[in-house]
Amino acid sequence: MVGMTSTPRPSNLDPEIAARLKRSPDGLLPAIAQQYDTGEVLMLGWMDDEALHRTLTTGRCTYWSRSRQEYWVKGDTSGHFQWVRSVALDCDADTVLVKVDQVGAACHTGDRTCFDADVLVADAPAPGQ
């Protein structure tokens, strides 16, 4: 299985928050990063309990890298920081929305967002038009 081992990593996440989360089988939650003032969707990353704890307590987005099997903090290597403005769970408690103040590019390719380069449909008419 790509992702985590079957044994979860230790976490300092508040147990009341942890009890509410509905994680994937590998213990992860998708985390959507959104620009707080424009609503622009920047990227999707993955968080486990400890990454969420670090995000909530440091004010910087921390993610779990499924390929490298390690935590990474947005901006530590690129200088393109995500400063946390708010964090919310969706109605099913299986996705995290992190509203951030993005400094620089959000995508590892250098694009502003991870959704700039491969648009499948643009300016489609609204249903019924």
CA 69, distance to chain mean position in Å, is 16
Is 114 within any annotated ligand binding site? yes
Is 94 within any annotated ligand binding site? yes
Q: What is the Rg, in whole angstroms, of the alpha carbon atoms belonging to the chain?
A: 16
Which of these, 126, 7, 106, 116, lies nearest to 61 by C-alpha position? 106
Is 111 within any annotated ligand binding site? no
Is 123 within any annotated ligand binding site? no
Which of these, 99, 46, 107, lies nearest to 80 by C-alpha position? 107
Is 90 within any annotated ligand binding site? yes
Is 101 within any annotated ligand binding site? no
Q: Residues annotated as binding site for Zn(2+)?
A: 91, 107, 114
Q: Residues annotated as binding site?
A: 90-92, 94, 107, 114
Q: Residues annotated as binding site for Mg(2+)?
A: 90, 92, 94
